[in-house]
Chain A
Amino acid sequence: MRVLAVEDDCVSAEILENSLKHFGFEVTTAKNGREAFELIRTGRYRLVVSDWEMPEMNGVELCRQIRQRQWSSYIYVILVTSHNEVGSVVEGLNAGADDFLAKPFQPEELRVRLRTGERILSLESRDVVIFALAKLAESRDPETGAHLERMREYCRILGEELSRWDKFRHDVDGQYVQLLYLTSPLHDIGKVGIPDRVLLKPGRLTPEEFEIMKQHAVIGGSTLDAAARAYPEAQFLTMAREIALTHHERYDGTGYPRSLHGEEIPLCGRITAVADVYDALTTRRVYKPAISHETAREMIIEGRGTQFDPDVIEAFLRHEEDFVEVGRRFDEQAVLQSEKQPPALVHSVGV
């Protein structure tokens, strides 16, 4: 595994690098936080061992900068420090450090702390695999851009809001919100079973084609159901199944595939429905332009009690600005991404 070692003093850097290499890590060194941050931006580093006190940008500031951004995967940071009083540790933890190492460190202790870091990072692999699965399903329908990324953010915002309501106190907690964030990208996984002539049709679907399209909820639900039965302990599979199966149900009972009514629809399905529709409305699709937040908001309010759960709409209205912010953030990322790639590549990806 690759480690980024950040240390301004050349002697300490040498010893750190030697220890890391001895333990089998691939090492890159940086002389201060600023240099380290530039390297982290390349996305090549998930494990960082940084000195606390350094010129230009110190280790605590580096942690803050790392945590302020969204990365494709978690970055585990160990701070090497001679500050061992409680106040400093709290400051480091608040800045987002994962662990500490007293300076001068003993190589064996460094090895143990790195092993803990590797273990934590490996847990994230499960989440990455889930998301990869969702992306695979989405790859057949590439017009939707960062739909999954935005949608899970919207779901998290709605879930976090509802977790604060008395009514949902027992059902919606941090764990629920985490699972929702993790599994909502799987909502359309059943689209892998829809034939291209329907899925990729640019024009309006005929009633017969629409019936075929509607099958994606059942296909997704039953695929995940098989997995959930095989692994009953895996709560995320249960939630993923419910979301895939019920995100097109409507609150008034006129949705599909099972015409469930009101609270017969699992809460995760009711939340995903709002997040999915909001994103579909506010982004450009092959058959329609993007519409403004204000118009989308009106359309969603119109669906209160018919298409959508009024509680979820209330949660949406309380966090409209956060929704707009998520949309803006992913737009900016898309622009950055396209600037990074040569035009020819953008074209071929688009195809």
Chain B
Amino acid sequence: MKQEDQAQAATVLDIEDLMTRCLGNIEFAGRVLAKFQESGDEHLAELEQAVASQDTEAVAQLAHRLKGASANAAAPGLCARAAEIESAARQRSLREIPARLENLRHEWSRFAAEVPRLDWFPEATA
């Protein structure tokens, strides 16, 4: 992996943190990431739907869940973006939500693009 790629990936995924959380089990870390990606698509779609129907309660809850999942999957960027949406929803600042959702989508596509490029755990991608 090139150096600039590694720097880019680090902001998307905190590998050291992920490994601590997975107690050093590389195979398990791979499974967590795979699960996170799979459920993340679904969660994002649910969140978008809740934003469209202006259900702030649901927006807050779904953003909170995504925040927790990202924190556990050691994705600090996604975690921060989800937290911004949650706090806007809790304060009922509806106008701010679409822009924040856009930021989250952007971060999500970065994550989705970066993670498969990580070649440091072959078992996970096999």
Interface string of A79-107 (1 = CB under 8 A from B): 00010000000000000000000011011
Closest chain B residue to A22, Cβ basis: B23
Decide: B71 and A104 in contact? CB cutoff 8 A.
yes
* Cβ contacts under 8 Å, B74 to chain A: 104
Contact of A53 with B61 in the complex, beta carbons under 8 Å: yes
Interface range on chain B: under 10, 10 to 19, 20 to 34, or 35 or more?
A: 20 to 34
Q: Which of B5-13, B32-40, B98-106, B113-121 contacts A (4 or more CB under 8 A)?
A: B32-40
Asked if B67 lies at the interface with its beta carbon under 8 angstroms from chain A, I say yes
Choose one: B20, B25, B61, B67; the contact of A82 (CB below 8 Å): B67
Query: What is the total number of residues of chain A having a CB less than 8 Å from a CB of chain B?
Result: 18
Instruction: Give every chain B residue within 8 A of A22 (Cβ-Cβ).
Output: 23, 25
Write the nearest CB–CB distance from A279 to chain B, whole angstroms.
49
- Dominant SS at the B interface? helix
- Give bound CA distance, A22 to B74, whole Å: 19
Residues of chain A with a CB closer than 8 A to B22's CB: 15, 18
Which single member of B23, B25, B64 contacts A53 (CB below 8 Å)? B64
Q: Nearest residue in A to B58 (C-beta to C-beta)?
A: A55
What chain A residues lie within 8 Å of B69 (beta carbons)? Answer: 9-12
B73 touches A11 (CB 8 A): yes
Q: Does A19 contact B (CB under 8 A)?
A: yes
Q: Which residues of B contact A103 (CB under 8 A)?
A: 68, 71-72
Alpha-carbon distance between A296 and B11 when the two chains are bound, in angstroms: 74
- B25 pairs with A11, CB closer than 8 A: no
Can you list 19 pairs linking A and B with CB atoms under 8 Å apart?
A9-B39, A10-B39, A11-B36, A11-B39, A11-B69, A12-B72, A14-B32, A18-B23, A18-B28, A19-B21, A51-B68, A53-B68, A82-B67, A103-B71, A104-B21, A104-B71, A107-B20, A107-B21, A107-B23
